[in-house]
């Protein structure tokens, strides 16, 4: 049986690239998710920062075969409960308050805390978390930062988001301690609002064709 602390590895390692999505209109959830699944990107992080987000997670999980919706922007214990009730396969936070860590330990929903510094990383490790979100990745030193973290934290695996792009994806994914990369550039809010599934799908398929064959670390 996979432990909650190992679950992010199981979900994200095969994915390698995860669209970060903001859903404002619930009617956009299913066609957008189908676009990504059809392109070969089944894991998608839906930010819990709109009213539509919980229902979007629920509908994607129920109506889109093969989709793996995870809840992003989880900030509080209440958000964690919302994510679980919506049927998210995992919850992800940009940070790691003590309240949130304690709530995550007490629930069976896989959780990935966010870190920005070695000190924050040491704190979440002490709570049993060895797979973490690195945010905001680009402003904090990019791939060079995680390359430097590899030696002192050999067990830790990272999921960088925040300022990533198709231009630096190859550099991120080449690091043995990076399991997957998240990017909002895969589904810009303006394109979602225009319901431009064709353009979003074309970009996603291009990325899969370029990088999906790279071996996971």
Residues annotated as part of the active site: 45, 133
90/13 Cα distance (integer angstroms): 14
Q: Which two tokens stand for residue 159?
A: 């999921």
Q: How far is CA 165 from CA 7, 77, 173, 191, 204, in A?
A: 25, 30, 12, 16, 12
**DSSP state at residue 15:** T
The string over 178-191, giving b where at least 16 C-beta atoms fall within 10 Å of a residue's C-beta and e elsewhere, is bbbbbbbbbbeeeb
- How buried is residue 208: exposed, middle or buried, by Cβ count under 10 Å (0-12/13-18/19+)? middle
48/21 Cα distance (integer angstroms): 10
Q: How far is CA 113 from CA 4, 60, 71, 96, in A?
A: 12, 23, 12, 5
DSSP string, 95-122: S--HHHHHHHHHSSS-EE-EESSHHHHH
31/64 Cα distance (integer angstroms): 9
């Amino acid at each position: 049986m996979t432990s909650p602390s190992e679950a992010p590895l199981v979900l994200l390692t095969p994915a390698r690239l995860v669209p970060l999505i903001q859903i404002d209109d619930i009617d956009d959830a299913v066609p957008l998710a189908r676009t990504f699944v059809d392109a070969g990107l089944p894991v998608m992080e839906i930010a819990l920062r709109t009213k539509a987000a919980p229902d979007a997670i629920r509908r994607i999980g129920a109506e889109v075969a093969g989709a793996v919706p995870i809840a992003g922007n989880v900030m509080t214990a209440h958000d964690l409960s919302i994510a679980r009730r919506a049927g998210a396969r995992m919850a992800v936070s940009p940070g790691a308050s003590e309240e949130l860590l304690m709530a995550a330990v007490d629930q069976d929903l896989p959780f990935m805390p966010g870190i920005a510094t070695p000190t924050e990383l040491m704190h979440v490790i002490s709570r049993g978390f060895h797979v973490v979100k690195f945010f905001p990745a680009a402003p904090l030193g990019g791939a060079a930062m995680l390359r430097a973290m590899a030696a002192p934290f050999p067990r830790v695996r990272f999921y960088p988001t925040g300022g990533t792009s198709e231009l630096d994806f190859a550099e991120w994914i080449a690091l043995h301690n990076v399991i997957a990369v998240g990017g909002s550039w895969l589904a810009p809010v303006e394109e979602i609002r225009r319901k431009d599934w064709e353009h979003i799908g074309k970009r996603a398929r291009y990325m899969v064709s370029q990088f999906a064959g790279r071996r996971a670390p």
